[in-house]
Amino acid sequence: MSELSSLVLIAMQYLAYAFIFAIGLALLWIGVIYVRDKTQTESTLRRNYPVVARFRYFFEHMGEFFRQYFFAQDREEMPFNRAERSWAYRAAKNVDSTVAFGSTRDLRPTGTVYFVNCPFPTLEQDATEPSTVTVGPFARHPYQSDSLFNISGMSYGAISIPAVRALSQGAKKAGIWINTGEGGLSPYHLESGADVVFQIGTGKFGVRKPEGGFDEDKLQAVAAHDAVKMFEIKLSQGAKPGKGGILPGAKVTKDIAEIRGLKVGQDAISPNRHPEVDNVGDLLDMINYVRDVTGKPVGFKAVIGAYGFLDTLCQEILKRGPKSAPDFITIDSADGGTGAAPMSLIDNMGMPLRESLPLTVDVLNTYGLRDRIKVCASGKMINPSEVAWAFCAGADFVNSARGFMFALGCIQALQCNKNTCPTGITTHNPKLQFGLDPTSKAERVANYANNMKKEVGIIVHSCGVAEPRLLKRYHARIVLDNGRSVSMDEMYPEAQPLKAAE
């Protein structure tokens, strides 16, 4: 016992020495920081309150995470609140989405949309599958699809290989399409056999010459893949209209360089617009060039800003003839997302989809081009209510990026631009990618798309119609600032063709 007591005593002495040593190191570290803060000139707070002021920055950084989990109510957070994310997670996991004891959604705020139920809703046996839409009737290879809810553009490079694989496999399982984003066509988009929309960004990655501009051989090579069904020319995106982008050279690996047509380590720079497109005539020329070379339907994606753009575009199409028209227009909302964008643009620039989608549909109706040009709606639509609203407004398809990121397991950690995404979606760190299993996440992607279709159908049938593309504006109401609501077809009356108006 005496020997054991001696060993215990010695151990306690060593622990005491270690504790004193640790305290000494801590005090030395605090002293160094004190001197550094007191002598620096960048921060007034740290100069006046050395060491202590650093806690402000720590709590400021941690605040967004504490609010998400502890302080914010279910309907308070931005860009997506807990209730919205919760539905997406449940849909992806294919678990019960019913709630008890009443809704937590406040129907009183101005702009709130709700739907009007029919006294004689559609019976199950009378419900039908979504109708098939033909895109590009004048292309050599028109595209037909009955999908309602598709995967919007997310580039390989902006998101990881496991994420692209999971999205592609999930799209195949659900029978929807996946948009490549502007980063080019990767093998990971193709390996599942899902329908693919190839996006041509302002950098023309994957179809560019080294000096810039289109490489016709590369365009034809992309179009040669049966899986590639359409081409989308990107003019602008919701989070940063009028601003280009850059993938730093440090992230341009050999794989990404080959796909994008760059050199390893070269910055992947997207200008703020296509240099050869100065007006609507140039845009139609580019659309027709890509369509002639590829034989596939071609449209464009844009955030709507200047009202006159759509009118000028339609007038030019009528001069040239309906064959010259884009086969589809993807309308992106000003509250769309991206990994990184200037706050001055992400907060202030462009029109939200609530206004721009009805406007676009009405302009196309006015010029008699609505049947010729299909409309895709994109931007912050991750729940059935937003998707159903888009069909009421006149959309043919709805696309989502962040909804499918939630299906992959995104926790809205707001780390997209830092290569530290904890769920492996927007990072190239192999250790973080390890947690994202493409096979299991593909099931969740498919579940999310299928449950979206199912629950949009529930809203649709309650409104008394058989399928989503039969929804009309009078099926939705919008709350005004006086607390009363008005039918959406009163707020946005159906436009009449110009000939009828004359």
Residue with tokens 């058989």: 466
CA 306 to CA 185: how far, in whole Å?
32
* Lowest mean pLDDT across 7-21, 233-247, 351-365, 481-495: 233-247
Binned at pLDDT 50, 70 and 90, residue 388 comes out as: very high
Which residues 6+ apart lie within 8 Å of 455 measured at CB? Answer: 91, 97, 384
Contacts of residues 119-124 at CB distance under 8 Å and 24 or more positions apart, as own/partner, are 120/464, 121/461, 121/462, 121/463, 121/464, 122/460, 122/461, 122/464, 122/465, 122/466, 124/461
pLDDT for the residue numbered 310:
95
Q: Which two tokens stand for residue 478?
A: 């919008």
Q: Which two tokens stand for residue 342?
A: 């200037």
* Lowest mean pLDDT across 54-58, 375-379, 398-402: 54-58
Binned at pLDDT 50, 70 and 90, residue 422 comes out as: confident
Binned at pLDDT 50, 70 and 90, residue 473 comes out as: very high
Tell me the domain boundaries of the chain. 2-71, 124-501
Question: Which residues is 31 bridged to in the sheet?
Answer: none
The mean pLDDT of 324-343, rounded to a whole number, is 81
pLDDT at residue 343 tops 60: yes
pLDDT at residue 407 tops 50: yes
The mean pLDDT value of the chain amounts to 86
pLDDT for the residue numbered 133:
97
Quick check: helix, strand or coil at residue 75?
A: coil
Cα 248 to Cα 186, 267, 416: the distances in Å are 19, 5, 14
pLDDT for the residue numbered 196:
97
Range from 50-64, 222-236, 328-342, 347-361 that averages highest in pLDDT:
222-236
Binned at pLDDT 50, 70 and 90, residue 167 comes out as: very high
Work out the percent of the chain whose per-residue pLDDT is above 70.
Answer: 88
The pTM score is 0.84
pLDDT for the residue numbered 337:
67
Binned at pLDDT 50, 70 and 90, residue 502 comes out as: very low
Residue with tokens 């530290």: 420
> Is CATH 3.20.20.70 what the domain over 124-501 is classified as, yes or no?
yes
CA 399 to CA 391: how far, in whole Å?
12
Q: Minimal CA–CA distance to 359: which of 301, 298, 299, 311?
A: 311
* Lowest mean pLDDT across 55-69, 137-151, 175-189, 371-385: 55-69
pLDDT for the residue numbered 77:
59
Beta-strand ranges (E) seen in 90-184 are 113-115, 133-135, 143-145, 149-151, 177-179
Residue count of the chain:
502
Binned at pLDDT 50, 70 and 90, residue 156 comes out as: confident
